[in-house]
Copies of this chain bind each other. A is one copy, B any other.
Amino acid sequence: MPNRKFTNKPDDIVNELLEGFVLAHPDKIRLAGSNLVVRAQPKAQDQVAVVTLGGSGHEPALSGYVGPGMLDISVPGDIFAAPGPPRLVEALEMADRPAGVLLVVLNHAGDVMSAKVAMQMAQAKGLNVKQVLTHEDISVPSRRDPKDRRGLAGCLFVIKVAGAAAEKGYSLDECLAVAERMEKNMATLAVATAGASHPATGQVIAEVPDGRMNVGMGQHGEAGTGEQELKTADATARLMLEMLVKDLDVQSGEDLLVMINGVGSATLMELYIVLRQVKRLCDAKGINLARTLVGEYLTVQEMGGFQMCIARMDDELLELWDAPCCTPALTLC
């Protein structure tokens, strides 16, 4: 795949993007230690800190969610690659406080391995850290064996409610409980219409032929349910929402939070058209589309398509979702 991107030396991509990122948001974030993205104004020590880690190349995720109401520290890795345990331990030590630290980990092998080693080290050092794992990708069949379910853009929901809970003064166990409740009540499905490439190597990481789509394809080209003919927005939205609602067993009368997350070259136009159909389908099922989020929140370079994330909300989760936040990539006012 020809690289049509504006970059400089491939090895410098991550450093340069982080440099530009903090220059763009000097009021909100800065770099500390070994390229850790931290808040410009740290929160109080008696509030739980929320930390996450993840490969780069998915901008604005995850560092875009550092700021009041969401994350305290993000540990960005190399392109599509988890950061190693040492930088994660550095972040956990930096975040360490009497109130404790919540680590949000997306279920991808590299992230999970790094988190495992880092958590063991943190515990050995006596840090008060707890971990929540997100694995809400329903393209892997079984909900009962979630080990294989990947963490997709739904992590944003977990970060948002956990961040709001921390800001409200919830204890570490309460933050963890909220994060886990959010995690258990969410489901994501992706659809890809065009592939993507690794910005440093140019290697194709996902391929979809013209006029085809792949429902369930993961963030790094992980196999989905297989290719099929590109369908209309309405037909695709219906197909995906039915799978999600079934997997999460959403009942009539329940409140849903729905995110339509563009993963790269999908246009906002398409995402809005999809949301419109989601609303119609929910109306027909008596499901209440309580909150929505439409935009690019976790991308995969120039990949075409989107992720549909749904979450069953209760009053507390809605309240935490609605709490203000002010980060580079999500501001609720």
Residues of A in contact with B (beta carbons under 8 Å apart): 2, 4-8, 13, 16-21, 23-24, 56-57, 59-60, 193-194, 199, 210-211, 230, 232-234, 236-237, 264-276, 279, 289, 292-294, 296, 299, 301-302, 304-306, 324, 326, 331, 333
Contact = CB atoms under 8 A, between A and B. Distances in A.
Given A17-B273, A23-B292, A276-B23, A60 B268 contact: yes
A17 B2 CA distance: 32
Nearest to A2: B210
21 contacts: A4-B193, A4-B304, A6-B193, A6-B232, A6-B233, A6-B236, A6-B274, A7-B270, A7-B273, A8-B232, A16-B233, A16-B272, A16-B276, A19-B276, A21-B272, A23-B272, A23-B279, A59-B269, A59-B272, A331-B331, A333-B333
Contact of A267 (B16, B264, B289): B264
A267 B294 CA distance: 17
Contact of A268 (B7, B59, B292): B59
Contacts of A23: 272, 275-276, 279, 289, 292
Contacts of A266: 5-6
A274 B8 CA distance: 10
Nearest to A276: B20
Contacts of A269: 5, 7, 13, 17, 56-57, 59, 199, 301
B13 A292 contact: no
A302 B24 contact: no
A81 to B, nearest CB: 14
Contacts of A230: 4, 6
A203 to B, nearest CB: 16
A272 B4 contact: no
Contacts of A18: 272
Contacts of A236: 6
Nearest to A296: B296
B273 A8 contact: yes
Nearest to A60: B268
A268 to B, nearest CB: 4
A292 B26 CA distance: 9
A215 B269 CA distance: 26
Nearest to A275: B20
A8 B331 contact: no
Contacts of A275: 20, 23-24
Contacts of A211: 2, 4
Given A6-B273, A199-B269, 9 more contacts: A5-B266, A6-B305, A7-B232, A19-B276, A20-B294, A21-B272, A57-B269, A59-B269, A60-B268
